[in-house]
Every structure is written in C-alpha cells, then in structure tokens.
Amino acid sequence: MAVSDLQLRRYNATTLNLINTLLDRWTKDLSTEKQPIESWFIDLDFNDVESERERDILNAIPTTMSLSDRDVDQLIKVGQQILKRDESFQDLLRKIEP
C-alpha cells in the first residue's frame, strides 16, 4: 500500500489536533480554582533542522524499537538543538524556572 506525503501530513495534523484537544480537556478537568493547571505541548519536527543534509540523514533513520547508539545520540543532539530555538519551549522554561 502506497501512502502519499500529503496523506501522512494529514494524518499527522489530525493526530496533533487530537493530542491538543485531549491535553486541553485534561487541563480543564484537573484544574481547580486553588490549583490551576497549565499544559504545554511542544511539537518537534525534523523540518526545523536548518541543514538539509542533516534533515535527510534524520529522515532516513528507521522507525523501529531498536536504534543504533549513534542514531540515538544524533536524535538527542538534534532534539536539544531544536528545543533551544523553539520559542514555546523557551517560554515554558522561563515560566518554570525559579
């Protein structure tokens, strides 16, 4: 079965919308007047990687339960880089830092 990139993006968008809807619902359900809850959803995407070559390498990493140590290290490094540039994540850090 062939799946187009457009189909994958639609599926991904639908999934992200569902996650955000559920997160909003859980936030409302768990919040009280005395203890309001604020939730954050930070969406990381390989498209946020500046280098096209590095994006291609990351996208070539298989979706599997068994990754090489090298792939894991690379994914962690890239995730850290994306988070450092992500304004929503930086807002969250400012909010929770003492």
Q: pLDDT tens digits, residue range 64-97?
A: 889 999 999 999 999 999 999 999 999 999 999 8
Q: Are 42 and 88 in contact (CB under 8 A)?
A: yes
Nearest to 76 by CA among 58, 91, 50: 58
pTM of the predicted protein model: 0.70
- Rounded distance between C-alpha atoms, residue 58 and residue 8, angstroms: 17
Total domains, the chain: 1
- Rounded distance between C-alpha atoms, residue 85 and residue 48, angstroms: 9
- Rounded distance between C-alpha atoms, residue 37 and residue 80, angstroms: 26
What's the pLDDT score for residue 5?
53
Position 41 pLDDT exceeds 70: yes
Range of the domain at 19: 5-96
